[in-house]
Structure 1
């Protein structure tokens, strides 16, 4: 039996579309975990990246932090957090946030440093405050690269949030974990296909956000 047969059998089974273990329920759970982790990672990474990039300081320290964050194994960190904190959402959020902060941190820093200094100097010469220079001059130009960091983090979170199932939470990872335990490869392949589709949908969402939020002049210039 090939992968396409498994996918067709999984999605054509009516029992997979209703109940607490139905696709809509698991999809909503997965999206909730992903949005929560992305929001936390953005709340940590964006301010630090924007401010250090604006002032041009701390780049080496950010690179070390990002490298350390990327080197940590998500599943190993999840197991450690469960041992220390017990079961629940918190042990799941920590590895997802640790995974997502580095791309947000580094790209927001690099985005600010890549802004042409001429308009920045001109804004300061006109007497604009540092906060206005940051949000009105630098941020609109840096926004495409910042969004690319958020997009990269979101894709990694969506793909990795399946680990929530290993600590008895929901999400699309339930199909993969339960399917492996039950030797139900139809469920395993179906769950993996759903995660892939959700990752592609995430790409589409960020493309749409960029079309709406990035000014045409910046987009065409980039």
Structure 2
């Protein structure tokens, strides 16, 4: 029997029935189940373990509402490293008490973009208790999440949670890296020497310009704002 089937459905509906059961309707409108239908049928009538993780993530950036510009920037270097830099304060004092008009704008990043960043960007200081680059590399080699978890002495669900935590925290860095890559601003991976570079900033760093915002979150929704980076 097939050990597992992975696909990317939309959670369409959740219904609580009068008999105490809960029905969850998953709709697959993409090709993620192509060639796997027979494998999925093997699980009919059986109890399975399902963990739902997002296909995209959102993060917030503070904007000075008076000039509609971000108060921080994810600066991307040629070698693919990314640092969070606070912009020089130019906000207007809106009430005479030193307060400024700051709003939060939300931006969305696909999981594949984040995974590409983790696998291919320059030196990264990963948040959490695992090295997500190694986990993704092992998954790409066909090793199951369960086998990797056993080797790392994690439960499978704990390993998935750690990987999701890393994706969530690295989402804004990945978004900036993607934009720079699309503009041709990065050196090819083989031309970079990541061993000599400073690691990206995460929320574990202490300098102001290297703090990951706390409101980075997993979310399928975005407000449609154009990313300033």
Shared fold (TM-score greater than 0.5)?
no
TM-score, normalized by length of structure 2? 0.25
TM-score by length of 1: 0.26
Q: Which has a greater percent of strand?
A: 2
